[in-house]
Amino acid sequence: DEYLQSGAFADISTTSSTDAYVFYLKGREAYRRQTTESMREARTLFEQALALDPEYAPAYVALADTLGALSEGGDGFGVLKPEIAAQLAEENLDKAILRQPDIADIYAVMGVVNLLRNNYEDSLGNFDKAIQLNPSLARAHMWKSLAFSELQKFDEAIASLEKARE
């Protein structure tokens, strides 16, 4: 039998705070439920994780993603004005980039921020960077299809959805 050494999961959670990691996991679960109430709950949980560990880059990314999802219009949950959601999300992404710039989700969520701002070409660049870092990041491919649709590049949108499905 092999036993894991203390700290063996450090690269999974990127926090040494067990409590911060638990708040993060609870936030991911709330986010997954995809209701306005659960997204508000996710926001609070990610903020609590960051209060316990202000260096926890994945929690900044998750918070930014949640803030984008709380935007009004489109597929948003209608709590924040799009520009406010974009600004708050971008501030959290900047904090994540400073701490751990190689997280693919940073750039995928930055693409969503650019979608909120109707900067579709910029969002494509963000999604490409996310996909470069993690070619199997399905949500980057899915969100990329939204940008292509807005640009009326429907063949590319379908191709991106196919990649997401793969």
For residues 30 and 24, what is the distance between their CA atoms, to the nearest angstrom? 10
Q: pTM of this prediction?
A: 0.88
**Sequence-distant (≥ 6) Cβ neighbours of residue 7 within 8 angstroms:** 16
pLDDT digits (tens, 9 = 90+) for 124-160: 999 999 999 999 999 999 999 999 999 999 999 999 9
Are 131 and 100 spatial neighbours (Cβ–Cβ below 8 Å)? no
Q: 3-class DSSP state for residue 7?
A: coil
pLDDT tens digit sequence for 89-123: 999 999 999 999 999 999 999 999 999 999 999 99
Q: Is the CB of residue 112 less than 8 Å from the CB of residue 131?
A: no
* Joined tokens for residue 40: 């508000």
| Per-residue pLDDT reduced to its tens digit, 16-47 | 999 999 999 999 999 999 999 999 999 999 99
